[in-house]
């Protein structure tokens, strides 16, 4: 990942929270979000919250993080309905804090 990150320019980190009918299945975070993150080559985590939202953090090359942000805002799992997605703490980072993308419980 570090060679890819260096080749792609700046590394970016962003926190997110997805609102709507996003916890219809326990598979939303661990199956679909992980699958998309791994396909894009970003790292971080995802977690269901007790408020019925999905929250997490994404890190990677800026272009790939932006693609993941778009997916979190518009696509999600096949059975989800995304009302809105909030992004916060968006910043450039010098190195990745994670080596993979996984689900937190």
With respect to residue 18, please indicate whether it lies within any of the assigned structural domains. Answer: yes
- For residue 7, pLDDT over 70 is answered with no
With respect to residue 42, please indicate whether it lies within any of the assigned structural domains. Answer: yes
User: For residue 49, what are the domain limits?
Assistant: 9-99
Q: Taking all residues of the chain, what is their mean pLDDT, rounded to a whole number?
A: 85
Q: What is the CATH number of the domain that holds 81?
A: 3.30.70.100
Distances from the Cα of 21 to the Cαs of 29, 34, 64, 97, in angstroms?
Answer: 13, 18, 25, 29
Cα distance from N-terminal residue to C-terminal residue, the chain = 25
- For residue 86, pLDDT over 80 is answered with yes
Bridge partner residues of 39 (DSSP): none
With respect to residue 4, please indicate whether it lies within any of the assigned structural domains. Answer: no
Domain count, the chain: 1
With respect to residue 55, please indicate whether it lies within any of the assigned structural domains. Answer: yes
- For residue 84, pLDDT over 80 is answered with yes
Residue 78: name the closest of 27, 17, 41, 44 by CA: 27
With respect to residue 105, please indicate whether it lies within any of the assigned structural domains. Answer: no
Q: What is the pLDDT of residues 28-47, one digit of tens each?
A: 556 788 899 999 999 999 98
- For residue 21, pLDDT over 90 is answered with no
């Amino acid at each position: 990942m570090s060679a890819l990150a260096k080749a792609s320019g700046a590394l970016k980190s962003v926190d997110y929270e997805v609102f709507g009918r996003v916890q219809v299945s326990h598979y939303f975070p661990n199956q679909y979000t992980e699958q998309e993150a791994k396909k894009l080559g970003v790292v971080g985590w995802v977690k269901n919250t007790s408020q019925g939202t999905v929250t997490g953090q994404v890190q990677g090359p800026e272009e790939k993080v932006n693609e993941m942000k778009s997916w979190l805002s518009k696509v999600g799992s096949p059975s989800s309905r995304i009302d809105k997605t909030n992004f916060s703490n968006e910043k450039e980072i010098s190195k990745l804090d994670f080596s993979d993308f996984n689900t937190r419980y």
